[in-house]
């Protein structure tokens, strides 16, 4: 290795002066970096709670990062010891943490969609796939199946999300055959999920009919051939086409299916099982589709159902039995913890314990109730803020162009972006929204027991 003796330094300064100020200081900084052994010895007492191999690995990573910064002429000012300790301490902190959702978006996709109520996860073993009455192996889906049938009025199974439900239905019922669907329903939802692409992966052949804005029942009728396996209806849960539009009534489509002996499958998306129209929310009910003669439906568990992430498939007993026998059903099945959360949600729905399901409790709040809570919070906390009329939204790809009247806390702050950032760094983090250069908070999506934490977070930034 080249050693920078005094003579070499002098020669470099004399003959390449432009490079001297860069190369020599960089070399000196690189040589000054401690060895892995020395750093480990100096830190071992303070970091004895961590495995030695993990400490050495983090030391090597920190030294390599320091080398890259020196060569790039950068640096954040933190010592190697501080970096290593911070990185190891971060490993002790859970990445997934509770946040206070003050955005007013009830089914906030980035915050986990439907908020869950208190659920006691069973420690140790459980009877997940064990029949206690017979002492033999059982089926895990029995824990939710009976509640789903009570709630929906048809046999049902659950998989890990609605995309998986669509995939399983098309794979089992239409692989190698054609699925007739309106061009106006070839939707894309969050994270680039597209109905046509999932159909392609399932082996089903897409047969588009109609136009983007108008599809008639005769378009479906003319598309049916000996290769047709399904008539697909997709509820546009995350968009609306308005103006010169048309599509067949659901009963028209199911009548055509019965006439030709072809099942009708509807992807409902949101999965609304209780009438929310008294609260200003218009969304088709699962029961309405089944009453209209749809043979199979699917919807999400973490939207208007108010439960954990899941995909529910329900309908004709024969079709549901076929889906359950498909080998992919095992690959897409739910975990034991999800079954506990789903069973709890379904039981509360069957027993009409609406307030035990946070998403439904939030949607059922009136604007006056939200205002009363906000006024009480401001009176207690004495925060410089105003109350302004506003709107909450359902979110999560549900009920587009629909909102709910609410009252918002508008915080008096100059730099609202900085204020929102500071709220996110509180414990627990508070997620607000910015509109018209104002920092706004909507108590509709804040649990009552979180109000004191929210008040403390607001006081900290004000």
The pLDDT of residue 436 is 86
Task: For 114-157, give the DSSP string.
Answer: SPP----PPPS---TTEETTTTEE--TTHHHHHHHHHHHSS-EE
Q: Are 394 and 306 in contact (CB under 8 A)?
A: no
What is the phi/psi pair of residue 454, to 5°? Answer: -65, -45
| Comparison of pLDDT for 247 and 371, the residue scoring more | 371
Judge whether residue 79 has pLDDT over 70.
yes
Q: What is the mean pLDDT of residues 417-424?
A: 94
Distance CA 422, CA 368 (A): 29
Q: Are 32 and 44 in contact (CB under 8 A)?
A: no
What DSSP element (H or E) covers 401? Answer: strand 398-411
Instruction: Name, in order, each residue with C-beta under 8 angstroms of 18's C-beta and a sequence gap of 6 or more.
Output: none
Instruction: Name, in order, each residue with C-beta under 8 angstroms of 132's C-beta and a sequence gap of 6 or more.
Output: none
Judge whether residue 401 has pLDDT over 70.
no
pLDDT confidence bin for 27, thresholds 50/70/90: low
Distance CA 297, CA 299 (A): 7
Judge whether residue 189 has pLDDT over 80.
no
pLDDT confidence bin for 183, thresholds 50/70/90: confident
Residue 453: name the closest of 423, 428, 431, 425 by CA: 428
* The pair of three-digit structure tokens given for residue 215, joined into one six-digit string: 């599809």
Q: Could you give the count of Cα atoms lying within 13 Å of 79 in the half-sphere of its Cβ? A: 6
The string of pLDDT tens digits covering residues 264-304 is 999 998 889 999 989 888 888 999 999 999 999 999 999 99
Query: ∠ CA 122-123-129 to the nearest 5 degrees?
Result: 65
The pLDDT of residue 1 is 40
Q: What is the mean pLDDT of residues 48-56?
A: 95
Query: For the chain, what percent of residues have pLDDT higher than 90?
Result: 69
Query: ∠ CA 21-23-27 to the nearest 5 degrees?
Result: 120
The pLDDT of residue 389 is 96
The string of pLDDT tens digits covering residues 142-156 is 999 999 999 999 999
Q: What is the mean pLDDT of residues 77-83?
A: 83
Judge whether residue 36 has pLDDT over 60.
yes
Instruction: Name, in order, each residue with C-beta under 8 angstroms of 138's C-beta and a sequence gap of 6 or more.
Output: 127, 129, 130, 131
User: Of how many residues is the chain composed?
Assistant: 462
The string of pLDDT tens digits covering residues 318-345 is 999 999 999 999 999 999 999 999 999 9
Global pTM? 0.86
Distance CA 457, CA 33 (A): 41
Lowest-pLDDT range, 6-10, 82-86, 92-96? 6-10
The pLDDT of residue 61 is 94
The pLDDT of residue 193 is 65
Judge whether residue 23 has pLDDT over 60.
no
The mean pLDDT of the chain is 88
- What are the chain's domains? 6-91 (no CATH), 100-110+360-461 (3.90.1150.180), 120-356 (3.40.640.10)
Q: Could you give the count of Cα atoms lying within 13 Å of 260 in the half-sphere of its Cβ? A: 21
Task: For 296-314, give the DSSP string.
Answer: EEEEESSSTT-SSS-EEEE
Lowest-pLDDT range, 114-128, 214-228, 231-245, 280-294? 231-245
The pLDDT of residue 20 is 47
The string of pLDDT tens digits covering residues 122-133 is 999 999 999 999
Residue 56: name the closest of 69, 42, 67, 68 by CA: 42
Residue 206: name the closest of 189, 181, 226, 225 by CA: 181
Task: For 154-212, give the DSSP string.
Answer: S-EEEESSHHHHHHHHHHHHHTTSEEEEEGGG--EEGGGEEHHHHHHHHTPEEEEES-S
The pLDDT of residue 29 is 74
Specify the DSSP class assigned to residue 108: B
pLDDT confidence bin for 238, thresholds 50/70/90: low
Judge whether residue 5 has pLDDT over 60.
no
Q: Are 445 and 108 in contact (CB under 8 A)?
A: yes
Distance CA 46, CA 48 (A): 6
pLDDT confidence bin for 2, thresholds 50/70/90: very low
CB atoms within 10 A of CB 207: 21
Q: Are 302 and 309 in contact (CB under 8 A)?
A: yes
Distance CA 156, CA 286 (A): 12
What is the phi/psi pair of residue 265, to 5°? Answer: -115, 130
| Comparison of pLDDT for 236 and 48, the residue scoring more | 48
The string of pLDDT tens digits covering residues 153-176 is 999 999 999 999 999 999 999 999
């Amino acid at each position: 290795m080249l050693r920078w003796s005094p003579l070499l330094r002098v020669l470099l300064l004399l003959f390449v002066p432009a490079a001297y100020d860069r190369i020599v200081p960089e070399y000196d900084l690189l040589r000054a970096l401690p060895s892995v052994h020395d750093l480990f010895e100096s830190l071992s007492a303070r970091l004895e709670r961590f495995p030695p191999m993990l400490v050495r690995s983090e030391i090597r990573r920190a030294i390599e990062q320091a080398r890259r910064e020196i060569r790039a002429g950068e640096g954040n000012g933190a010592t190697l010891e501080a970096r290593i300790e911070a990185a190891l301490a971060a490993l002790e902190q859970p990445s997934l943490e509770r946040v206070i959702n003050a955005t007013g978006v009830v089914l906030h996709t980035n915050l986990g969609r439907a908020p869950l109520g208190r659920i006691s996860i069973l420690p140790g073993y459980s009877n997940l796939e064990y029949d206690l009455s017979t002492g033999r192996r059982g089926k895990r889906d029995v824990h939710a199946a009976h509640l789903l049938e009570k709630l929906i009025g048809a046999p049902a199974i659950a998989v890990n999300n609605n995309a998986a439900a669509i995939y399983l239905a098309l794979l089992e019922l239409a692989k190698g055959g054609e699925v007739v669907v309106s061009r106006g329903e070839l939707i894309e939802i969050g994270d680039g999920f597209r109905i046509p692409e999932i159909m392609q992966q399932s082996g089903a052949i897409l047969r588009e009919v109609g136009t983007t804005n108008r599809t008639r029942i005769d378009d479906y009728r003319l598309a049916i051939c000996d290769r047709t396996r399904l008539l697909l209806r997709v509820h546009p849960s995350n968009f609306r086409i308005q103006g010169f539009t048309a599509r067949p009534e659901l009963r028209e489509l199911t009548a055509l299916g019965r006439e030709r002996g072809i099942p009708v499958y509807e992807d409902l998306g949101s999965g609304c099982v209780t009438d929310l129209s008294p609260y200003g929310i218009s969304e088709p009910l699962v029961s309405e589709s089944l009453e209209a003669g749809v043979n199979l439906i699917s919807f999400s568990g973490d939207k208007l159902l108010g439960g954990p992430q899941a995909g529910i498939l329900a309908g004709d007993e024969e079709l549901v039995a076929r889906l359950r026998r498909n080998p992919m059903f095992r690959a897409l099945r739910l975990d034991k913890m999800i079954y506990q959360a789903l069973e709890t949600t379904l039981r509360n729905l069957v027993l009409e314990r609406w307030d035990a399901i946070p998403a439904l409790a939030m949607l059922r709040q009136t604007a006056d109730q939200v205002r009363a809570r906000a006024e009480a919070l401001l009176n207690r906390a004495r925060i410089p803020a105003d109350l302004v009329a506003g709107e909450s939204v359902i979110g999560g790809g549900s009920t587009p162009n629909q909102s709910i009247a609410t009252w918002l806390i508008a915080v008096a702050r100059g730099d609202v972006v900085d204020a929102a950032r500071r709220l996110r760094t509180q414990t627990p983090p508070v997620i607000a929204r910015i509109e018209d250069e104002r920092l706004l908070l909507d108590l509709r999506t804040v649990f009552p027991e979180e109000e004191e934490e929210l008040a403390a977070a607001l006081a900290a930034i004000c």
